[in-house]
């Protein structure tokens, strides 16, 4: 397969259509608008529907309709828009409707700014809507992953009958990298449960309403069982030089990229540093943390929010190893120099036996 | 069964469905519907056909909020071959005519 | 009672086929609706069900239930059923219909649902002329939640949240949804009907049937507003409530047809057949056969490439394009590359910059915080990034003279008035390509064929390609000349 240079946001749309997505309903917002623009360009050409909705509230409810009709569908937005979509996401999780939602995050709270932050972690991973539900959350860190994880998102959405979120920051959305795509397009299929306006689906009902307390409990338990299954089968993380890592760096999305650079430089200066990059944020790759914990002395979480991912890391480690934390927000990105400096401090504290070549460190 | 052979129409009330709102009593032009003294097992008084005088106009059906509480039938004139409506099966009619 | 007697009658008005025989989704009392005695919802349900029966569309119908007393409409209608969030039925209906064009989509909504929380969704669905049918049940109150005021509550009407009666000063005036939507261009049919007496009820039935039939014919958006009694919350006897619709409600909400373009309306065009699946990669521009093979073979293996480039300037100076051509050329030459723009308001007004990386190795971080080449297209950009340049790196600066106070001993500088050079070539806007030419000459590695290919891929206008090619060549020359000068001086 040949590669071409493409923005992450555009790669999402192309991958989605190849995966059988035939509907996009959305509302423009920086830094996600290219997704809507690409969808407006390509969906009508491929037999799909594109509609710019009057709001994110309407957009997510349109997905509710499209998904009810058994169409693979998606939307994209950023912080403030995702907040507005939470109603519909909760309804879709409750009604077990698959869809893919790309959150190309920006700064918050409120209007914040349009620069990259990772402060949508909580509203993506913990959910901002009412009720006991989760969305599955995938966190790409490259344009290739924007494409690949979009395809995976559609698969998971159908397999688990649930909304799946792609949580990407503005950098991954806006940057261009070489990317390759599958050369065949998936055939859209109509799930049995869908309401299609045809005789065979007449008996079908899409609803999130379960009046009886026992009914609702059974339903919520059913959802819970699905999430448990996803926890068993779908957690994904990338490990990078972790075999002998004493300091395990943790970060997702663009931070994962920065941490790769840090890892390389730290290793070059003699520190046993590795990177654990969660790819699924929900379900959280707890097992990876537990596996690395015995050999690691400390975990260093870096994120572009004031402490959202770090909570899950602490839960995953459950106190068996210390967790150090570095964050930048507001659109400021932790530079790899800054992280390296932090890692050196951590190393001094946790790896006392280690003699660092200070001269060498000064130059990295 | 209260219907009389000579009426043009025939009214059946399903007491399981009737909630006794009385809209049909008010709406019926020939005023052949009234409320029962007896309560159904949900405790509602139910609409009762006087047994004759129904013209099969269907107004009571239209104003009744319950989908299946009222069924209006019309005498079939075999000679004229009047048609259009569903033939009420004997069993069906018996099953519902529990007023 | 002899059975022969009964057999002489036939059913003329009976339970519609589109209703379930037994309401199995309901917990208890499965042969009764959940509506209160005398509730208008039941009457309207029956009208809709008969319309579905008469039009023969039971299999095709999708009913969207709202949140409100009619939330359980799906208990009763033996059609495809989708229950929507409060107020969102028009959005849900929009996508159902667009997803399945052969379906008949009916959104059923109360007045709180449609005219308050869902006011945006209905307005825009109507304005788009969605080919759906909306049944709007106006009972002037929030019933399900126990009688709070709605946008349609009458002036002076008491509710639990307007205990002294609705006042125009505090709650505004009753909202006239039909009139409002009839001011839009797209709707085909809008009528307000009532359930106030026999005549009104008969008319309501006809209107609902027409509204559904319009959709069957594909004519567009139809909405029927039904003034409907809620005896329970209004605290009236059913018959009294019915008359209140006619005698009181109707004064605020006059009945009638507010829009009827059914005669002029044209049926929605048939949907174009989707393209064959195997054409989709091509349509998306991702088919291998449509992508260039590249010129990786021309890259000398010995060339070690590790460019960390930061390009900075003002919007409109071609900062992003410069970076793109570089990255595209790198990809063409078989390298790993990344291109990362600054984006947002920055892009529109002031400064613009991008990060470009080219390397033999997979790119770890696409962020270039310590560039080994800085291309500064003006002085503010130079001042912003000058100090970040890696020792031994390069600064390519667009200006007559390099500002004294920016000078660093540990970096190379190529400072020239590139804009003037470009102007001489034919267009000052080609300064970015002159600077790129210099950069490429400094970096050395990339084959010319890759650069030519990248330029042609990114610049569509042949006149510009020609100019940019000359600009690139001129840039290379300028760097070589500067080397010669340096040699002579040295
Ligand atoms: C987001 C949200 N807000 C509030 C409610 C509570 N709620 C349920 S029904 C309703 C009002 C319904 O009134 P209307 O649409 O007039 O229907 P009716 O019950 O009168 O038929 C409200 C406010 C809700 N379910 N969801
Ligand atoms: S409260 Fe009013 S609207 Fe609701 S079911 Fe009862 S009568 Fe109907």
CATH number for position B89:
3.30.70.20
Report if residue B2 sits inside a domain.
no
Of A186, A184, A139, residue with least CA distance to A19: A186
Half-sphere exposure of C146 (CA within 13 A, CB side): 2
Mean pLDDT for all residues in chain C: 94
Residues A270 and A174 in one domain: no
What confidence tens digit (pLDDT) does each residue in A128-161 have? 899 999 999 999 999 999 999 999 999 999 999 9
Sign of CA dihedral A138, A141, A143, A144: negative
Has residue B3 been placed in a domain?
no
Q: Which residues in chain B are closer than 8 Å to C76, comparing Cβ atoms? A: 67
Asked whether residue A256 falls in the same domain as residue A344, the answer is: yes
Among C47, C317, C349, C98, which Cα is nearest to C203's? C47
Q: Give the pLDDT score at C489.
A: 67
Among C103, C283, C339, beta carbon nearest to A5 = C339
* C269 confidence band (pLDDT: 50, 70, 90): confident
Please check the confidence at residue B1 and state whether its pLDDT lies above 90. Answer: no
Q: What is the share, in percent, of chain C residues with pLDDT greater than 70?
A: 96
What was the pLDDT predicted at C406?
Answer: 87
Of A233, A250, A279, the residue that ends a domain is A233
Enumerate residues 286 to 345 of chain C having a beta carbon within 8 A of any beta carbon in chain A: 286-288, 291-294, 324, 327-328, 331, 336-341, 343-345
With contact defined as beta carbons under 8 Å apart, do B65 and C41 qualify? Answer: yes
Scan for tokens 């499209």, then name that residue: A66
Residue A116 tokens read as 């990259």
Q: Do chains B and A touch (3 or more CB pairs under 8 A)?
A: no
Q: Which ligand is nearest to the CA of C139?
A: 1
Helices (H), chain A: 8-18, 33-42, 56-68, 79-94, 121, 143-160, 170-174, 213-233, 254-268, 286-292, 309-317, 336-350, 358-363
In short, whether C36's Cβ falls inside 6 Å of ligand 2 is yes
Q: From CA C445, how far away is CA C355, in angstroms rounded? A: 19
Q: For residue A37, is pLDDT > 70?
A: yes
Q: Are residues A62 and A186 in the same domain?
A: yes
Question: Residue B95: pLDDT above 90?
Answer: no
**Are A272 and A225 part of one and the same domain?**
no
A354: CATH: 3.40.50.920
Domain hosting residue A83, numbered range: 4-233
DSSP string across C192-246:
EEE-SSHHHHHHHHHHHHHHHHHHHTT---EEEEEE---HHHHT--HHHHHHHII
Is residue B56 one of the residues assigned to a domain?
A: yes
For residue C319, list its beta bridge partners: none
Residue C6 has pLDDT above 80, yes or no: no
pLDDT of residue A364: 39
For domain C278-489, the CATH superfamily is Pyruvate-ferredoxin oxidoreductase, PFOR, domain III (3.40.920.10)
List chain C domain ranges.
Answer: 9-260, 278-489
Residue B94 has pLDDT above 50, yes or no: no
The CATH number assigned to the domain with range C9-260 reads 3.40.50.970
DSSP β-bridge partners for residue C374? C310, C395
* CB of C44 closer than 6 angstroms to any ligand 1 atom: no
How far is C98 from C82, CA to CA, in rounded Å? 15
Residue B88: pLDDT band with limits 50, 70, 90 = very low
Whether residue A203 sits in one domain with residue A124 = yes
Q: What is the pLDDT of residue A228?
A: 98
| Position B78 pLDDT exceeds 70 | no
Work out how many domains chain B is built from and give that number: 1
Distance A88 CA to ligand 1 centre (A): 16
CATH number, residue A61? 3.40.50.970
Phi (first) and psi of residue C335, to 5 degrees: -90, 165
- Kindly give the distance from the C-alpha atom of residue A65 to the centroid of ligand 1, in angstroms, as a whole number: 20
Q: Are A144 and A125 part of one and the same domain?
A: yes
Specify whether A228 is located in the same domain as A285. Answer: no
Subunits with 3+ C-beta pairs closer than 8 A to A = C
Indicate if the pLDDT at residue A32 is higher than 50. Answer: yes
The arithmetic mean of pLDDT across residues B34-40, rounded, is: 93
Helix (H) or strand (E) holding C438: helix C431-443
Q: What is the pLDDT of residue C299?
A: 86
Residue B55 and residue C345: Cα distance in Å, rounded?
75
* DSSP bridge pairs for A167: A103
Same domain, A50 and A194: yes
Residue C295 Cα to chain centre, angstroms:
40
Say yes or no for a CB contact (<8 Å) between C286 and A114: no
* Structural domain of B63: 9-98
Reported as a single tens digit per residue, the pLDDT across C132-190 is: 999 999 999 999 999 999 999 999 999 999 999 999 999 999 999 999 999 999 999 99
What pLDDT shows up at residue C217? 97
The interface pTM score, or ipTM, of the predicted complex is: 0.94
Which of A174, A209, A233 lies at the terminal end of a domain, its last residue?
A233
| CA nearest ligand 2 atom 5, residue | C35
End residue of a domain, out of A233, A256, A272: A233
CA distances from A42 to A50, A182, C457 (A): 9, 17, 20
What is the model's pLDDT at position C270?
78
Confidence of residue B6 (pLDDT cuts 50, 70, 90): low
The two tokens of residue C420 are 């003037």
CA of C32 to the centre of ligand 2 (A): 14
């Amino acid at each position: 397969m040949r590669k071409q240079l493409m923005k992450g946001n555009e790669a999402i749309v192309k991958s989605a259509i190849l995966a059988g997505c035939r509907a996009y309903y959305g509302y423009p917002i920086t830094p996600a608008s290219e997704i809507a623009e690409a969808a407006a360009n390509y969906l009508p050409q491929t037999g799909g529907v594109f509609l710019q909705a009057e709001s994110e509230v309407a957009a997510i409810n349109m997905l509710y309709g499209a998904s009810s009709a058994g169409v693979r569908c998606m939307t994209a937005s950023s912080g403030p828009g995702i907040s507005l979509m939470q109603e519909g996401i909760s309804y879709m999780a409750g009604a077990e409707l698959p869809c893919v939602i790309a959150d190309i995050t920006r700064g918050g709270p409120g209007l914040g700014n349009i620069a990259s932050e990772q402060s949508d972690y909580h509203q993506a991973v913990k959910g901002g809507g009412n009720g006991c539900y989760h969305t599955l959350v995938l966190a790409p860190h490259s344009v290739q992953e924007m494409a690949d994880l979009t395809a995976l998102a559609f698969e998971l959405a159908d397999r688990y009958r649930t909304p799946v979120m792609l949580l990407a920051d503005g950098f991954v959305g806006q940057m261009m990298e070489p990317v390759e795509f599958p050369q065949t397009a998936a055939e859209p299929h109509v799930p049995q449960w869908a309401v299609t306006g045809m005789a065979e689906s007449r008996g079908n009902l899409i609803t999130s309403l379960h009046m009886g307390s026992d009914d609702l409990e059974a339903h919520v338990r059913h959802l819970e069982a699905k999430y448990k299954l996803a926890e068993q089968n779908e957690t994904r993380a990338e490990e990078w030089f972790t075999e002998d890592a004493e300091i395990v760096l943790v970060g997702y999305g663009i931070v994962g990229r920065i941490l790769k650079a840090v890892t390389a430089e730290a290793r070059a200066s003699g520190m046993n540093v590795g990177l654990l990059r969660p790819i699924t944020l929900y379900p959280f790759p707890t097992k990876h943390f537990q596996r690395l914990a015995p050999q690691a002395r400390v975990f260093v979480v870096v994120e572009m929010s004031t402490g959202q991912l770090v909570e899950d890391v602490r839960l995953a480690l459950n106190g068996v190893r210390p967790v150090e934390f570095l964050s930048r927000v507001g659109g400021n990105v932790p530079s790899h120099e800054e992280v390296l400096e932090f890692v050196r401090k951590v190393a001094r504290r946790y790896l006392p036996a280690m003699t660092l070549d200070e001269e060498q460190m000064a130059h990295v | 069964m209260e219907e009389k052979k000579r009426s043009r129409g025939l009214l059946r009330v399903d007491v399981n469905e009737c909630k006794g709102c009385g809209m049909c009593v008010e709406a019926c032009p020939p005023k052949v519907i009234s409320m029962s003294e007896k309560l159904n097992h949900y405790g509602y008084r139910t609409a009762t056909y006087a047994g004759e005088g129904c013209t099969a106009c269907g107004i009571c059906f239209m104003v009744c909020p319950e989908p299946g509480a009222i069924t209006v039938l019309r005498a079939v004139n075999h000679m004229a071959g009047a048609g259009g409506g569903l033939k009420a099966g004997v069993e069906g009619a018996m099953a519902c005519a529990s007023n | 009672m002899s059975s022969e007697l009964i057999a002489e009658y036939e059913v003329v008005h009976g339970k519609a086929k589109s209703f379930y025989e037994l309401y199995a989704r309901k917990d208890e009392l499965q042969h009764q609706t959940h509506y209160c005695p005398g509730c208008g919802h039941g009457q309207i349900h029956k009208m809709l069900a008969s319309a579905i029966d008469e039009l023969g569309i039971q299999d095709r119908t999708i009913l969207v239930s709202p949140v409100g007393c009619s939330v359980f409409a799906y208990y009763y209608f033996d059609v495809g059923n989708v229950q929507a969030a409060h107020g969102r039925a028009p959005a849900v209906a929009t996508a159902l219909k667009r997803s399945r064009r052969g379906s008949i989509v009916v959104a059923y909504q109360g007045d709180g649902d449609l005219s308050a929380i869902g006011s945006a969704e209905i307005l825009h669905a109507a304005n788009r002329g969605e080919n759906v049918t909306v049944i709007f049940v106006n009972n002037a109150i929030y019933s399900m939640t126990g009688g709070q005021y709605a946008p349609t509550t009458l002036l002076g009407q008491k509710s639990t949240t307007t205990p002294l009666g609705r006042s125009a000063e505090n709650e505004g005036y009753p909202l006239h949804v039909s009139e409002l939507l009839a001011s839009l261009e797209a709707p085909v049919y809008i009528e307000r009907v009532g359930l106030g007496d026999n005549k009104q009820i008969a008319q309501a039935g006809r209107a609902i049937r027409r509204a559904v039939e319009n959709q069957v014919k594909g004519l567009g958006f139809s909405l029927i507003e039904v003034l409907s009694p809620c005896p329970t919350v209004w605290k009236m006897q059913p018959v009294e409530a019915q008359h209140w619709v006619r005698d009181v409600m109707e004064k605020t909400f006059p009945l009638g047809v507010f829009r009827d373009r059914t005669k002029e309306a044209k049926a929605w065009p048939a949907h174009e057949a989707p393209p064959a699946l195997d054409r989709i990669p091509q349509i998306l521009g991702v088919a291998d056969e449509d992508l260039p093979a590249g010129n990786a073979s021309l890259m000398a293996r010995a060339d070690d490439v590790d460019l960390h480039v930061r390009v900075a300037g003002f919007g409109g100076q071609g900062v992003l394009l410069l970076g793109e051509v570089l990255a595209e050329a790198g990809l063409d030459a078989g390298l790993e590359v990344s291109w990362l723009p600054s984006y947002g308001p920055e892009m529109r007004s002031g400064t613009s910059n991008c990060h470009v990386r080219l390397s033999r190795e997979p790119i770890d971080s696409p962020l270039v915080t310590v560039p080994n080449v800085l291309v500064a297209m003006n002085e503010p950009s130079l001042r912003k990034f000058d100090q970040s340049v890696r020792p031994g790196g390069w600064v390519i600066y667009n200006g007559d003279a390099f500002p004294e106070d920016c000078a660093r001993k540990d970096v190379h500088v190529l400072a020239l008035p590139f804009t003037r050079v470009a102007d001489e070539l034919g267009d000052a806007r080609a300064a970015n390509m002159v600077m790129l030419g210099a950069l490429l000459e400094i970096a050395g590695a990339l084959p010319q064929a890759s650069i030519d290919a990248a330029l042609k891929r990114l610049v569509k206008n042949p006149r510009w390609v020609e100019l940019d090619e000359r600009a690139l060549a001129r840039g290379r020359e300028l760097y070589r000349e500067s080397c010669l000068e340096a040699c002579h001086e040295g």
